[in-house]
Structure 1
């Protein structure tokens, strides 16, 4: 890939209407998310190129920088954009842009990132993405994504390192969820499949209660425990939405007062506006997946549980939207996103 080829590519020229990426119910929403994905990928590719350029000044002969240049030279623009949104690449970008970063350490981390090989994963989940299946990160050495799991472990939850058999069983549970979602809400899977690029396992110490999260700087990596397929289907769209919204936040300001806070009914505590928006968007999709499953569920106990869950989330969504609008100063892009949220909440409410 030559830089002038990237500069000439106009396919990532602008963001789509953000109202369309809130809840996928038709082909227009799927197309809008494809455009958003390309815009976000282009931004990360530019950030990679800038970080490499900064390091080139004094470390041009470093093997890791040489390898990055060789990789990008061998790619066309489409391949380079796909590569730029891999979680190990976005994770490195965030570290490269940190203040007071040690260049020698940054180059060592870059070499570790380049050693990760998603193609060597012993198990994958097929989400219908044109980019191919999502690997299960096992943490078995650098090639197995140990660096990714080390980065994740800097937070509150420790990911599980898996052998090949355990990775296969974990992938099978996720595949059952993806297949269920494909049958019940194909547009939802289309968005999740574009936004999720890899999975890692969390311990199942909460039983049926959800245990799943994403990390803003590790784009596309979703961590989750194992639950029944229809619950994991909710997880797929919930975490896919977090990934999608993180991309939006990387590209455009949604409010003019991002440091403002308000009460979030999702966690029962004061949170910044961006966190509240994350909750609104992810639970819109989570609750909608549960609603779609109600149409095919035959067990009266589960039907009752699903209905109670939907009603609970609708009430939380209404409260979160009200709280957000009490303090938020939306930009034009934020207005469009909020318009999509209002329409989606009305849809979930039966309006």
Structure 2
């Protein structure tokens, strides 16, 4: 890939209508998510190229830099954009942009990133979907650099530690996620299409919360989703929930949604005061989560599970109305924020009507 090839590529020229990325219904929404993904990928590719250029000034002969240059030289624009949104690449980019980052450490981390090979994973999850984004996501086991030990180490820097898996355990974990993806394919194929665009890899978390959700994404590790194991329909909700977090993180990388980002208000999702960006994350992700529950509900025959689904949908609809009200009380929305909230208001209204 030559830089002038990237400059000439106009397919990532601008963000889509943001109201369309709230909830995947129909080809227009899927196309909007694909366009957003490409815009975000272009931004990360440019950031990666700039990071390499900064290191080149004094370390041009470093083997990791040589390997990156040679790899990108052999790629077309589509392949380079796909590479730039791999979670280990975005993780390295964020670390390269820290003002006091040590060049020697960055070069070691870059070499470790290049050692990660998704194809070496003992298990993966077929997600389907069309376009340049791959149709399966590997399970990151953390069994050495080739299987993502650096990536899981970064993901474990917060409150929850990712579980390292042996091959048999990775295959079992992948089968649980596959059952969830298969449910989405049956009840909400557009939901699976955006999952395929927005999720690139999975990591495992311990199941110590039982049926309570335990899943998260990390803004700087784009496309990586960590989750515990739960019944398949609950994991289907988690897939669209986390894909939405990934999608919204991309929006936040590109455009400001509020003019007062430091403002806070009460979030009913966590029963605590949170910054407006966190509340927006919750609104978008629980819109998709509750919608997935509603799409699955007519296929369930167990009265216990039907009751659980109905109570969950009603609870989330109420929380979404409260979160919308609180956000609009505090937020000074930009034009882009108005677009996004128009889609959120419509979705919340529909969910509230059942």
TM-score norm. by structure 1 comes to 0.99
Q: Aligned residue pairs: how many?
A: 351
Inter-partner Cα distance in structure 1 for 2:199 and 2:33: 12
Question: 1:158 is matched with which residue?
Answer: 161
Alignment equivalent of 2:178, drawn from 175, 179, 185: 175
- Residue 199 of structure 2: aligned partner: 196
Instruction: Output aligned runs, 1:118-133, within 5 Å.
Output: 118-130=118-130, 131-133=134-136
2:229 is the alignment partner of 1:226 = yes
CA contact (8 A) 2:135 2:196 kept: no
Please give the secondary structure, in 2, of the residue aligned with 1:159.
coil
Q: Is residue 50 from structure 1 mapped to residue 50 from structure 2 by the alignment? A: yes
Give 1:291's aligned residue.
294
Aligned match of 2:333:
330
Give per-residue Cα distances to partners, 1:287-345, cap 9 Å, x unaligned. Answer: 00001111111111111111110010011000001000011011111000000000000
Q: What residue in structure 2 maps to residue 35 of structure 1?
A: 35
Q: How does 1:1-351 map to 2 (within 5 A)?
A: 1-130=1-130, 131-350=134-353
RMSD, aligned CA: 0.7
Distance 2:350 2:29 in 1: 15
SS in 2 for 1:199: strand
CA–CA distance in 2 between the matches of 1:228 and 1:345?
A: 26
Separation of aligned partners in 2, 1:256 and 1:312: 30
- In the alignment, structure 2 segments of 5+ residues that lack a partner are none
**How far, CA to CA, are the matches of 2:276 and 2:170 in structure 1?**
37
Which is worse superposed, 130-139 or 49-58? 130-139
Question: Any conservation in 1 of the 2:183–2:233 contact (CA below 8 Å)?
Answer: yes
- For residues 144 and 243 of structure 1, the distance between their equivalents in structure 2, rounded to whole angstroms, comes to 22
| Residues 12-65 of structure 1: per-residue CA shift (max 9 Å, x gap) | 000000000000111110000000000000000000000001111001001110
Deviations 1:141-182 (A, max 9, x none): 000100011111111001110011000000000000000110
Mapped to 2, the partners of 1:272 and 1:207 lie a distance apart of 29
CA drift of 1:129 comes to: 3.6
Deviation at 1:132, TM superposition (A): 2.9
- Deviation of 1:241 after TM superposition, in Å, equals 0.2
The runs of at least 4 consecutive aligned structure 1 residues that moved more than 3 Å come to none
- What is the CA-CA distance between 1:350 and the residue it aligns to? 1.6
* TM-score w.r.t. length of structure 2: 0.98
Deviates more, 1:299-308 or 1:41-50: 299-308
Q: Could you tell me how far 1:77 is from its partner in structure 2?
A: 0.1
Separation in 2 of the partners of 1:270 and 1:127?
Answer: 35
Q: Which runs of 5+ in 1 are unaligned?
A: none
- Structure 1 range deviating more: 217-226 or 127-136: 127-136
More deviation, 292-301/107-116: 292-301
CA distance in structure 2 between the partners assigned to 1:205 and 1:302 by the alignment:
21
Using the alignment, how far apart are the partners of 1:53 and 1:259 within structure 2? 33
Q: Distance between the aligned counterparts of 1:53 and 1:245, measured in 2?
A: 29
Contact 2:37 2:250 in 1 (8 A): yes
SS in 1 for 2:353: coil
SS at match of 1:349: helix
Rounded to whole Å, the distance in 1 between the matches of 2:216 and 2:26 is 26
